[in-house]
Amino acid sequence: SGMAQFKEYFLGNGTPKSPRIADTQKCLRVSGKHNDLEDVGFDTYHHTMFEMLGNWSLWDYFKKESITWSYELLTDPKWFWINPKHLCVTVFEWDKDTPRDEESADIWKSLWMPAEKISYLSAKDNWWAAWATWPCGPDTEIFYWVGNWEPTPTSNVWNDEDNWMEIWNNVFMQFNRLEDGTLQPLPNKNVDTWMWLERITTTLNKKKSVYETDVFADVIEEIKNIVGEGNYLDKSAKIIADHIRSATHMIADGVIPKNVDQWYILRRLIRRAIREFYKMWYEGKIICKISKIYINKFSSIYDSIKNNSAKILDELSKEEDKFSKTLKDWIKEFEKLVKWFEIAFERSWKKVTVISWDKAFKLYDTYWFPIEMTSELAKEKELTVDTKGFNQAFQKHQ
């Protein structure tokens, strides 16, 4: 998990102490291929922070061993003993400069993975690269069935995506993308795999959602107690549970809320969580109470949390004070804006549905309301925001 630390080895510069490595790495992802941040709450397996469990082959084993051992770990009764019928896989389809990964497909078939369970997907899904240049390669991803019934023999990621949860990715780091875009074979073959701790925990506990595992379940329960059954919204609870876990770890690792870069991501996570409490009609100070559950749970595992618990609660409390003041004013201002659109529609019969960038920027500049949340609220009122214009103004402002 996390190939950047091994880049030089992949390029053949310097020999690794050991050709076989296992590691774990905390990872925050808010923009993946489906924009992970906005996927949180919509399904049972998206979350912004995850623990990547990795194993590495540096100039050692390659596709055959990696796929065979992955299958053994997942299905052998002496290990995870997952029903093979509840697994399916994807392999790299094809690209202008790289052939279809039939080699991986054939290895899966040799392990009795039926052809119907092997989907060939494009580079968007089955090619892993950290940047435009650097080591990269095709990958094969392994999915676990989370549907509410038994999967049909022909169900797979290609035709039934939402019922298959990605649990493991085996990346075959075998090329280097050069500045001019050409793919140069690496001097050695390498493997970089990563498994989602939260999702494999879901799988091994035969749950259907990561939010039912002991990473999140007690927090979800506490949120329900705080807001009451009548006001409880499942999507809001997942967003709060995920975002405050991520924020707790980020502050523990030295990030504080600001308006740029990773600090801005922390600000957005905290503010989105606060707003979700508002949507459940809860306006009191509450974020620290949620974070304390994570602090108590994870202090024995992470020194970063044990040693920074006071700082975590202090930063969250300060951000909550700042935002809850402006949030009420912001919502009033936003409602006025929506009213203005409704009147404009009645008068002119022209459905004006785009909030101009300057109005969106005023909401941001006056109330520090993240543009992404303005867009989300606008979407709920069937309006859109001219985010292109906003981003130009935001860049200038920065």
Binding site for ligand SER (CB under 6 A): 1-3, 52, 54, 128, 130, 171, 192, 194
**Cβ distance to ligand SER smaller for residue 18 or 300:** 18
Please, what is the minimum distance in Å from the beta carbon of residue 318 to ligand SER?
A: 32
Please, what is the minimum distance in Å from the beta carbon of residue 281 to ligand SER?
A: 40
CA nearest 216: which of 162, 290, 315, 269?
290
**Beta carbons of 140 and 108 less than 8 angstroms apart:** yes
CA nearest 311: which of 245, 256, 246?
256
Q: Is 196 left (phi over 0), alpha (psi -120 to 50) or beta?
A: beta
**Cβ distance to ligand SER smaller for residue 171 or 273:** 171
**Cβ distance to ligand SER smaller for residue 46 or 275:** 46
Q: Is 345 helix (H, G, I), strand (E, B) or coil?
A: helix
Q: Is 55 helix (H, G, I), strand (E, B) or coil?
A: strand
**Cβ distance to ligand SER smaller for residue 130 or 178:** 130
Length of the chain: 398
Please, what is the minimum distance in Å from the beta carbon of residue 16 to ligand SER?
A: 15
- Residues 145, 141: Cα–Cα separation, whole Å: 13
Please, what is the minimum distance in Å from the beta carbon of residue 240 to ligand SER?
A: 27
**Beta carbons of 242 and 49 less than 8 angstroms apart:** yes
**Cβ distance to ligand SER smaller for residue 134 or 278:** 134
- Residues 255, 259: Cα–Cα separation, whole Å: 12
Q: 9 has which bridge partners?
A: none
Q: Is 22 helix (H, G, I), strand (E, B) or coil?
A: strand
**Beta carbons of 385 and 360 less than 8 angstroms apart:** yes
Q: Is 290 helix (H, G, I), strand (E, B) or coil?
A: helix
Please, what is the minimum distance in Å from the beta carbon of residue 227 to ligand SER?
A: 36
What's at 201, amino acid-wise? T
Please, what is the minimum distance in Å from the beta carbon of residue 173 to ligand SER?
A: 8
**Cβ distance to ligand SER smaller for residue 173 or 293:** 173
**Cβ distance to ligand SER smaller for residue 130 or 204:** 130
Rg (CA), the chain: 23
**Cβ distance to ligand SER smaller for residue 19 or 84:** 19
- Residues 107, 62: Cα–Cα separation, whole Å: 12
- Residues 286, 227: Cα–Cα separation, whole Å: 10
**Cβ distance to ligand SER smaller for residue 139 or 276:** 139
Please, what is the minimum distance in Å from the beta carbon of residue 138 to ligand SER?
A: 12
**Cβ distance to ligand SER smaller for residue 24 or 326:** 24
Please, what is the minimum distance in Å from the beta carbon of residue 203 to ligand SER?
A: 19
**Beta carbons of 172 and 139 less than 8 angstroms apart:** yes
Please, what is the minimum distance in Å from the beta carbon of residue 101 to ligand SER?
A: 16
**Whose CB is nearest to ligand SER?**
3
Distances (CA, A) of 104 to 32, 250, 289: 24, 37, 48
- Residues 83, 243: Cα–Cα separation, whole Å: 32
Please, what is the minimum distance in Å from the beta carbon of residue 92 to ligand SER?
A: 14
CA pseudo-torsion sign 37, 43, 44, 45: negative
